[in-house]
Amino acid sequence: MRIGIDVGGTNTDAALIGDDGQVLATVKSPTTEDVTGGVAAALAGLGATRVSAVMIGTTHFVNALVEAARLEPVAAVRLGLPATAALPPLVDWPDRLRAAVEGAVHLCRGGHEYDGTPISDPDPDELKRVAADIRERGLRSVAISSVFSPVSDASERRAAEILAAELGPDVHLSLSSEIGKVGLLARENATIVNAALRPLAERTVAAFGEALLRAGITAPLFLSQNDGTLMDVDHARRYPVATFASGPTNSMRGAAYLSGLTDCAVVDIGGTTSDVGILVGGFPREAAGEALVAEVRTNFRIPDVLSIGIGGGSIIAADGSAGPRSVGYRLTSEALVFGGGTLTATDLAVAAGRAEIGDLSRVAGIDPARPLALIAERVAEAVDRMRTSAAPLPVVLVGGGSILVEELPGFSDVRRPPHFEVANAVGAAIAQVGGEVDRVFSGPRETVLAEARAEAVTRAERAGARAGSVRIVDVEELPLAYLPGDSVRVRVKAVGDLDLDKLGEAGRHA
Amino acid sequence: MDIDAGLLPAFARGCAVLGSGGGGPVRIGRAAALQALEDFGPVRVVAPGALDPDTLVMPIGTAGSAEVMAERVGGTEEPLHLRAKIEELYGGRVGAVMASEIGGANGCLAVAWAARLGLPLVDADGMGRAFPRMDQCVMELAGLSPTPAVLCDERGRTVVIDHVTGPWLERLVRAALEAFGGQAATSEYVLRGHQVPAATALGTVTRAVELGTRLPDPILTGKIAEVGPSILVEGLGPDAGRLARVEAGSEYLAVIEDGEPVAAVPDVIALLDTRTGEIVPADEVRYGLRVRVLRVPCDPVWHTPAGLRLAGPAAFGLTGLPEPVAARRTAGDGGSP
């Protein structure tokens, strides 16, 4: 048995999945201030301790960034001089967040050209001076970036070696080559965010482990990543930024699992928003370009999600339109069916007989047909925006607010699977492990692709996938314009089943 | 007019429109310009007619791949090395700089480098938009020599190209770019103040600011219905029932409706994402995007026979395309677009 837990902003959802893949129990409990209280309550609610693994998806780290709270000041060290000097690190950050995160900025020698030729060699003396400054300022977390590190990480590794030797094991180092892809500023931003979250990640991961122990669970703990794969606790301590978009990813993967579909649109309707994403081969389609997270431009792998302001708590205006204002978590006191005075989308669903919640008599005089049709239209338009072709596309509805929608104009196959309300926790529980390659290769196409595929498989196995279960789920080739003909950027992603034996002690949280 | 941090967003948006879907990552050019304006103060924009006749005007820009620019970002010393070599080759001091290409990232880079050099920026540029080739410029049409031309990187490694025509300049620059790591700062078609009024696209810095402040009415509003060899835009709202085909290479090249081109290169075509308000580059078009399709007239010189030979539909492999309806009306009137 496995337990999947989704720690959201409002609710902590949990699901117990049997070895045959059946959903055995589910529970929803309010998320607590310290995060772990909600986890403990969810575990108690499921009542199972003899499980083989616990998977947690959490928005805790992305929330810290959004609130600009609980962040560690960072020394940003970039290797690339004399290139890149036009734009120093943190240049495009919003002021409030920059003030919370900027500890020091250092531009140093190092970095590579697109073909791996060094721009300049890292200078040990220069880096020792940087280390002295970091020590002087009392900074404990360092983000290291270098030009074209997805092609060659040699500069970043060399700098990390020197800084680690100078600063000792108590200073965290985050390397951009391990975090993002091509596009220096966005990759560097993601690395700085990661560095700022490292101490919080240590505390939170330890607290999750504590909550498990208190519930009597000794099984290994994993955290879900943006791409729907898992990382062990050691990895989670070092790469908190990889959890940022695990919420929508988990609900999409859960929707796929519960509906049995691998290629479909998923609409996760919560209290305030509806999030629309597309599943391709069982995995969320990823955003193509750069993504803004808390106004910081990053390029780590996150699912392509379109959010619209419609949810179960959406307030219905006099003209029948819904949202974007929502009563949010106060739904159970403010909605008409719960004795409140606000007409919400949930009241419409109850009036239409789509849900039996609260007191039906309180919405007796309301005609829900037109406002519900407007909601369906807007959700359908959002799904239509996200699709990549005009071919028929099944739509899976999940989330507590999905009772608002029964049919979508223009879509003939709309379904709501069993356990739809905890699809995100199910998604966490069923996650696999993956490996990805994204860099610029030169050489004959066949050789390049074979090399990239082999590397992705090796990475997946190293991350804990059972040998033989790993398959390539995505290959993308992007020839580089205005460069010699055989330079191509290749992205390959491989995933496989989690091999608990192989992980052994590595995954233990205690 | 001065370009300062306050005016920069409108200018950069105008540059994105004039990129016609290409011209490199405006976001990086804009950030570099903002940094330079903060470090060195506003850039004075000088009217072409107000230039001293003998003053040396240095066209500037970056050549190379957008992916490389997104990684190498750009240094601070390139414009200084360019100026030193141009002054050595041409004799005398550079009095003003001009964007080689106003459309895309290079329009913003010209502002960044003018600020760093402490020089005024001429209210003109070499193209009036973005084009993929260096020799697709008004100076080439006017018969100016592109050389001696200079390529350099941030540490001053320099290549001088001389005694070649425009097409040969393009050929040699592409060869040198590989060794430079896929990106280099360039200056070509250097000219004197008195040559600017007749040999450049005039008023384009002002035009970029105006376009960025107020976009023209769309020729079509709709959604992207197919992305394949061509892009299909399906009309929505008042345009429901209309269907247009957009042809694109590195830039948007033509908009065709009912077999009739409603816009075509050399005129500028821009797609505006109606949800974000951002200009959509040609390589980021996706099914389902809600867009406004805009047509912006190019500099009239591009509609002359010589202009069309260098940068008309046929130069981009679009053959058998009649002159767009709108262009037939305005071509030859000689006025500013």
Q: Identify whether B337 is part of a domain.
A: no
Among the three residues B161, B190, B212, which one is the final residue of a domain in this structure? Answer: B212
DSSP code, position A466: P
Residues of A with Cβ-Cβ distance to B154 under 8 angstroms: 82-83, 85
Judged by CB atoms closer than 8 Å, whether chains meet at A185 and B73 is answered as: yes
Q: Identify whether B335 is part of a domain.
A: no
Residues of B with Cβ-Cβ distance to A481 under 8 angstroms: 65-67, 250
pLDDT tens digits, A238-263: 999 988 888 888 999 999 999 999 99
Judged by CB atoms closer than 8 Å, whether chains meet at A387 and B155 is answered as: no
| Helical (H) or strand (E) element with A373 | helix A369-386
Instruction: Check: CB of residue A352 under 8 Å from CB of residue A408.
Output: no
Highest mean pLDDT among A197-211, A267-281, B148-162: B148-162
CATH topology of domain A261-419: Nucleotidyltransferase; domain 5 (3.30.420)
| Residue A288 to chain B, least CA–CA distance (Å) | 8
pLDDT tens digits, A295-318: 888 877 678 888 888 998 899 998
Q: Does B111 touch chain A (CB under 8 A)?
A: no
Residue in chain B lying closest to A150 (CA):
B71
Q: Are residues B193 and B228 in the same domain?
A: no
Q: Are residues B171 and B188 in the same domain?
A: yes
Q: Identify whether B199 is part of a domain.
A: yes
Residue in chain B lying closest to A88 (CA):
B35
- Per-chain mean pLDDT for chain B: 92
DSSP code, position B162: -
* Total domain count, chain B: 2
Q: Does A308 touch chain B (CB under 8 A)?
A: no
Q: Are residues B152 and B78 in the same domain?
A: yes
- Domain with residue B144: its CATH number is 3.40.1610.10
Q: Identify whether B273 is part of a domain.
A: yes
Judged by CB atoms closer than 8 Å, whether chains meet at A288 and B31 is answered as: no
Among the three residues B212, B230, B260, which one is the final residue of a domain in this structure? Answer: B212
Spatial distance between the Cα atoms of B17 and B14, rounded to a whole number of angstroms = 5
Q: Does A82 touch chain B (CB under 8 A)?
A: yes
pLDDT tens digits, B102-140: 999 999 999 999 999 999 999 999 999 999 999 999 999
Angle of CA points A357, A361, A363, to nearest 5°: 80
Rounded to an integer, the average pLDDT of B201-217 is 97
Q: Does A213 touch chain B (CB under 8 A)?
A: no
pLDDT tens digits, A150-175: 888 899 999 999 999 999 999 999 99
Q: Are residues B128 and B265 in the same domain?
A: no
Q: Are residues B208 and B222 in the same domain?
A: no
Instruction: Check: CB of residue B108 under 8 Å from CB of residue B160.
Output: no
CATH code given to domain A70-198? 3.40.50
The sheet carrying A23-30 orders its strands as: A23-30, A11-17, A2-7, A53-58, A221-224, A230-232
The sheet carrying B260-264 orders its strands as: B260-264, B252-257, B243-248, B231-235, B220-227, B290-296, B268-273
Among the three residues B212, B228, B246, which one is the final residue of a domain in this structure? Answer: B212
% chain B with pLDDT above 70: 95
pTM recorded for the entire structure: 0.85
Q: Are residues B78 and B93 in the same domain?
A: yes
Q: Are residues B188 and B301 in the same domain?
A: no
Q: Are residues B82 and B93 in the same domain?
A: yes
% chain A with pLDDT above 70: 95
Q: Are residues B195 and B61 in the same domain?
A: yes
Q: Are residues B172 and B219 in the same domain?
A: no
- Domain with residue B271: its CATH number is 2.40.390
Q: Are residues B77 and B167 in the same domain?
A: yes
Closest CA to A192 of A148, A131, A152, A141: A141
Domain housing B237 = 215-330
pLDDT range class, residue B329, cuts 50, 70, 90: very low
| Residue A361 to chain B, least CA–CA distance (Å) | 40
DSSP three-state, residue B174 = helix
Q: Are residues B42 and B129 in the same domain?
A: yes
The torsion region of residue A138 among left (phi > 0), alpha (psi -120 to 50) and beta comes to: left
Residue B57 has pLDDT above 60, yes or no: yes
**Would you state the pLDDT for residue B251?**
93
Q: Does A394 touch chain B (CB under 8 A)?
A: no
